[in-house]
Amino acid sequence: MSKLTVRAQLLLAFGLLMGVSLLLAALSLHSLSDANSRFVSYVDGVTARAALAANVREAVDRRAIAARNL
């Protein structure tokens, strides 16, 4: 490394730093994408359970009205 000129050493160092920065950015984007998909999955699950609960509640209300009408 000492045989390289100062300019070459600086270019190598900055190139290495840029490579590490790009690697970190790529890993961060991948992690963010993962977190986003897990969040969407969670929200979809909550929405499905809420819709099911609403359907059950509606069925109970209809049954109560039918029993009352008898």
Give per-residue pLDDT as tens, 14-65: 999 999 999 999 999 999 999 999 999 998 888 888 889 999 999 999 999 9
Whether the pLDDT of residue 1 is over 80: the answer is: no
pTM of the complete model: 0.61
Cα 55 versus chain centre, distance? 29
Q: Are 12 and 4 in contact (CB under 8 A)?
A: yes
Q: Which two three-digit tokens encode residue 14?
A: 């900055």
pLDDT of residue 59: 93
Residues 11/4, Cβ–Cβ less than 8 Å: no
Residues 29-56: b if buried by 16+ CB within 10 A, e if exposed: eeeeeeeeeeeeeeeeeeeeeeeeeeee
Which residue in this structure is represented by tokens 């009205």?
Answer: 65
